[in-house]
Structures are given as structure tokens and as C-alpha cells.
Amino acid sequence: MTAKMRFSLKAGERIFINGAVLTVSQKVTLSLLNDARFLLESHVLQLADATTPMRQLYFVVQSLLINPQEEEKGMIAFHKIYDALLTITTDEAVKLQLKSVGEFVAVGRMFEALKVIRSLFEAIEPVAPSEPGLMAEKAA
């Protein structure tokens, strides 16, 4: 069976796979052999860092990815923030990217949605307090 996704983790680093949190005690390379919902610790945004509507949207989509068992509640929160952002956004390019986020979430492609949202941090936030993963990278 061919690996669908391959990545390396440092000692003590965490990964979230299908709602489970895994940590490794030594440097390791993992290969996922099938489809799985996963998020590397370096992409995890802490609740305290969800200080803008776009970061709150990221946090909710991240929660959908990490906690698939809470999907119903997460989708309600997603639509509340997502719909508000679409309403207040005047920049058409940002609005198009937001619509792609909605399409990705609708078909369960949360990781792709997170990548688009991260790109919007720089586009619409003049000074970002801290990017997802910076805290984890500094602690390592």
C-alpha cells in the first residue's frame, strides 16, 4: 500500500488524527496509508489567539477537523462566523476566498479550508499577534 501522506515529527510534538491526540517520544516519520483527518501541532491555533473574526473562523474549522464527533455544534458555529464575515467583507478577492472556504467545509475538506483561512490572515490583518504554530515552535 502506498503512503497517502508522509511527515516527520520531533520528540514531544503532537498530531491530531481523527479526533485522537498523539504525541511521540522521539523523532519519527509517519506515513498515513489511508484517508484520515489530521492536523499537525504547528498548525493549531490556541483559543487565546483567536482574537479576530478570521482567526475565530480558523479556530472553528480547526475544531471541526480535530473533533469530528462535535461536527453538528461546530457547523453551527462555523456558519455563524462565516456568514457574518461574508456579510461584512467588502473586498471581492477576500470574499471569493471565503466562499472557497465554505465550499471546502461543505465537502469535508477542512485542511484545505484552513490553508485558505491562514492565507487570509496576512491579507486582512495589519499586524497579526501570533501565527498558528508560533507558540509551539518557540516552545520546542
Residue 7: predicted pLDDT: 82
Give CA 69 to chain center in angstroms: 16
Q: Which of 65-69, 75-79, 119-123 has the highest mean pLDDT?
A: 75-79
Neighbour count for residue 111 (Cβ, 10 Å): 17
Residue 3: predicted pLDDT: 60
Per-residue pLDDT for 130 more than 60? no
Of the pLDDT bands very low, low, confident and very high (cuts 50, 70, 90), residue 34 is confident
Residue 126: predicted pLDDT: 52
* 67 vs 12: CA distance, rounded Å: 21
Q: What DSSP state is assigned to residue 107?
A: T
Of the pLDDT bands very low, low, confident and very high (cuts 50, 70, 90), residue 84 is very high
Neighbour count for residue 83 (Cβ, 10 Å): 11
Plot region of 5 (φ>0 → left; ψ -120 to 50 → alpha; else → beta): beta
**Mean pLDDT across 54-58:** 94
Q: 3-7, 8-12, 122-126: which range is least confident on average? A: 122-126
What order of strands is seen across the sheet that includes strand 14-17? 20-23, 14-17, 38-40
